[in-house]
Structure 1
Amino acid sequence: MPPPVPGAGPVDPSRSSQQRPLFSRPSARERRRLAEALRTETVGGMVLLAAALAALIWANTPLSDSYEAVRSFHFGVPALGLDLSVEHWASDGVLTLFFFAAGIELKRELVRGELRRPAAAALPVVAAVSGMAVPALVYLATNIAGGGQLSGWAVPMATDIAFALGVLAIVGAHLPSGIRAFLLTLAIVDDIGAILVIAVFYTSTLNLAALGGSLAGLVLFRVLHVNLKVRGWYVYLPLAVTVWALMYNSGVHATVSGVAMGMLLSGRPRKDPDGEPVEGSSPADRVEHRVRPLSAGFAVPVFALFAAGVGVSGAALADTFRQPESLGVFLGLFVGKIVGVFGGTYLAARFTRARLDPALSWSDVTGIAMLAGIGFTVSLLVGELAFDSASTQEHVKGAVLLASLASALVACVLLRTRNAKYRALWEEETRDEDRDTVPDI
């Protein structure tokens, strides 16, 4: 029997027990973890939006000269190869906190989260991979046709989860937890892809001695943390800075060191008297609890403040759509993301036993696919790595901002049309008539 068309009528009862609904409600433990992550990312998304707006205002007023002066101001330790501009300290240094938190999140998802189970991970992985491949192909097609530089193919691949959840906080406060979990997991897989792309394709000439020193520092980090169980921050902070500095001088992008250290943290929770794991008690969980607010509330906004300041005059916007590189980025994010994420999700449902949750429709998937087109932080970072020309970088940044804004606006319209349905689902999920703080469902 051919697989059922997703969303097309009732499901055969004889097969319903074998089918897993798409965007179904996560377990109670996953919902608690999701709620905590969403609170942090949502607040971070609001701060990120404020920082991006501040950068745009600062760069497009009579104070624009001071913006450029601050952004290009150099300081550091030249003898150690660390004489960087403020802009590069933000992208190569401060943003490492973001990647460190991302590394911890990746480790948890792979060990204890949705990604540990192939059946549960298949849908967001397929959607994320399609959502990275199609934008890259759209960029390549646009630039092959227009004679542009092909090095920017990875710019439209990433989804900015903080920005996307910030938009959800404004227009989709009652979005069902299943859809939120899908978006969060999709963005995590996106992060894995972006990290691999940065490490493999945007690495300059390697300094093997510095790279070897950085890897040795990571091994020492692991031995101290896991084998010797050393817990003093005063040990790890100098070690982390050393690993970061060596990674920077090796030619591999320095933020990769943050991901590596995050994934090396122990995720093993302690046990209660009954032998059950205590949620949030692992070293990785405790470190993330302290670092994630710094990442979302400081590191990413600082990066945005010095990366998002581009000219928004009529001429500058026109140039964005005339240059093949920036046009490819815009089309990749705004068109490629929705085609990739929606198409990947549909095909995964069409050719597997998964089916769409009866309470939802494929228009909900379209709204989430549009949110995936918000590619702010990592897209801006890759744009800086992919192009040497300052003017091309500015045009690409403008394209990232415009595409993210357009994706957010269309997603808002699509999600708002279903708000009444989402509210009913959310009220059912959170109903607590016996007031025991545990949802009755």
Structure 2
Amino acid sequence: MTDHVTQSVRDGQRAGLAMLVGLALGMVAANSQLSDTYALVHHLPLRVGSRAWAIEAPLIEWINQSLLTVFFFLIGLHTNHELTRGALSEPCAAMLPASAALGGMIVPAVIYLGFNFGDAVALRRWAIPIATNIVLVLGVLSLVSGQVAPAMIAFATAAAMFDGLGSVAVIALFYGDFDQLWPLWLVAGGLAGLLVLNRTRKASLVPYLAMGCVLWAGLVMAGIEGAIAGAIVGFTLALSSFPSKATEGTERRVSPFALLFVVPIFTFFNGGVVLDFVPADQQAWSVAIGIAIALIFGKPLGILGGTLLALSLRIGALPPDTSMRDVPAIALLAGVGFTMSLFIVGAAFDATPVAATVKLAVVSSSAIAVVLGTLALKLR
């Protein structure tokens, strides 16, 4: 396991705790005398820019599309680092977690679609159970790191990273409203600029951030989730052109802010669900049950299937000092959706009454996955 992954696991313990504190405070605020204030702040309108170029949205949208960009940047940078300098720099090492992550996205989506077949509105939410929450996965792994082979921790971390990038791609492709077409030119310009910087091996973070801002503005104005710009910037950085100390220093500065501030703020405002236990309608039940089954059972099956497929095709190999006996526990833990799942809920449901029930399904299913994954890791 690289020092980079080791540090990520250590950060995960604190970040996982901070995330759970944010969730707990959000639940208290939404289900107490503070509920009206919580709702008021939640939808507080904020406007940035001039009249012609202004972006106006409630506070929750600024958190989800702006503040969360930092967390997405960290995911992209983590993955980029491992693919170029870390445990995944060899193609064979990268293919196994990539295949596992792909299986862990396809199977939950199929299960969800099966539960909601025939409901065109519900079908649009198919991506909610495809994501694994890398922060909570790292947090749980930090608690049992002495009982799990370092190479298996690296495998789990890599699979979660690929899963995160895959979820970002799904959000970009399937959850944009495309309210206006002209901002797509900004998106194209931002992407082209990042590609040029990558190809020319530009060794300065400033132009990447500038192109990232152009990309973010274009995404938001086009009706696409702007936070994905962070992951794209992190992933396109030409790390081989940067001194190792420079990139490590950047990550050390970004990581505490992203994991200990951004993610707890996100969970506080997105995880505050009113516990009335009365679904809005039959559709809510169908969506919630589909999500629960997909996360708790579909995710592990997909991870196992993707791993076995890569091994059978001989395009990947298990890390040293590990065996297939280790994979089921990691697969169970992958059912922790949470941050990315809640983000997709916001993109797919907006403020519809069904959203509260769906959020509750995500939170409760993720909690069950944490328990099952932790027990499996300890008993293996």
Same fold (TM over 0.5): yes
- Is residue 274 of structure 2 the alignment partner of residue 303 of structure 1? no
**TM-aligned CA deviation for residue 380 of structure 1:** 0.7
Q: What amino acid is the match of 1:244?
A: W
**TM-aligned CA deviation for residue 382 of structure 1:** 0.8
CA separation of 1:356 and 1:345: change in aligned 2, threshold 3 A: same
Match of 2:173 in 1: 200
- Percent identity over the alignment is 33
CA distance in 1, matches of 2:208, 2:355: 35
Contact 1:104-1:284 within 8 A present in 2 as well: no
CA distance in 1, matches of 2:327, 2:151: 11
SS of match in other structure, 1:411: helix
Contact 2:176-2:224 within 8 A present in 1 as well: yes
CA distance in 2, matches of 1:253, 1:68: 22
What's the RMSD between the two structures over aligned residues?
Answer: 3.0
**TM-aligned CA deviation for residue 362 of structure 1:** 4.4
- The alignment's TM-score, normalised by the length of structure 1, stands at 0.77
Match 1:260 to one of 209, 213, 232: 232
Greater shift, 379-388 or 124-133, is seen at 379-388
**TM-aligned CA deviation for residue 160 of structure 1:** 0.4
CA separation of 1:264 and 1:62: change in aligned 2, threshold 3 A: same
CA separation of 1:81 and 1:357: change in aligned 2, threshold 3 A: closer
How many residues are paired up? 378
Match of 2:28 in 1: 57
Q: What amino acid is the match of 2:231?
A: V
Match of 1:372 in 2: 334
CA distance in 2, matches of 1:290, 1:226: 26
**TM-aligned CA deviation for residue 340 of structure 1:** 0.9
Output aligned runs, 1:41-440, within 5 Å. 41-77=12-48, 79=51, 80-144=53-117, 149-205=122-178, 207-217=180-190, 219=192, 231=204, 240-268=212-240, 280-281=244-245, 283-315=246-278, 323-352=285-314, 362-388=324-350, 390-418=352-380
**TM-aligned CA deviation for residue 194 of structure 1:** 0.7
| Alignment gaps of 5+ in structure 1 | 1-25, 271-277, 419-441
Q: Cα deviations across residues 239-260 of structure 1 (Å, max 9, x unaligned)?
A: 6545422321122321122122
Q: What amino acid is the match of 2:375?
A: V
SS of match in other structure, 1:75: strand
Contact 2:152-2:319 within 8 A present in 1 as well: no
Contact 1:148-1:324 within 8 A present in 2 as well: no
CA distance in 1, matches of 2:219, 2:121: 31
**TM-aligned CA deviation for residue 363 of structure 1:** 4.7
SS of match in other structure, 1:84: strand
CA distance in 2, matches of 1:56, 1:45: 17
**TM-aligned CA deviation for residue 350 of structure 1:** 4.3
Q: What amino acid is the match of 2:13?
A: T
**TM-aligned CA deviation for residue 32 of structure 1:** 1.4
SS of match in other structure, 1:323: helix
Contact 1:338-1:372 within 8 A present in 2 as well: yes
CA separation of 1:221 and 1:132: change in aligned 2, threshold 3 A: closer
CA distance in 2, matches of 1:336, 1:239: 38
Contact 2:284-2:354 within 8 A present in 1 as well: no
Q: Cα deviations across residues 407-438 of structure 1 (Å, max 9, x unaligned)?
A: 111112212224xxxxxxxxxxxxxxxxxxxx
Contact 1:51-1:301 within 8 A present in 2 as well: yes
**TM-aligned CA deviation for residue 389 of structure 1:** 5.3
**TM-aligned CA deviation for residue 226 of structure 1:** 8.1
Q: Cα deviations across residues 169-219 of structure 1 (Å, max 9, x unaligned)?
A: 334554221111011110111012111111111111263432323443455
Q: What amino acid is the match of 2:5?
A: L
Q: What amino acid is the match of 1:394?
A: A
SS of match in other structure, 2:182: helix
CA distance in 1, matches of 2:201, 2:95: 37
CA separation of 1:238 and 1:182: change in aligned 2, threshold 3 A: closer
Q: Cα deviations across residues 363-416 of structure 1 (Å, max 9, x unaligned)?
A: 532211111000111111111112245212111111110110011111122122
Contact 2:4-2:86 within 8 A present in 1 as well: no
Q: Cα deviations across residues 305-329 of structure 1 (Å, max 9, x unaligned)?
A: 110011234445x979961111111
CA distance in 2, matches of 1:400, 1:183: 21
CA separation of 1:208 and 1:313: change in aligned 2, threshold 3 A: closer
Larger C-alpha radius of gyration, 1 or 2? 1
| Alignment gaps of 5+ in structure 2 | none
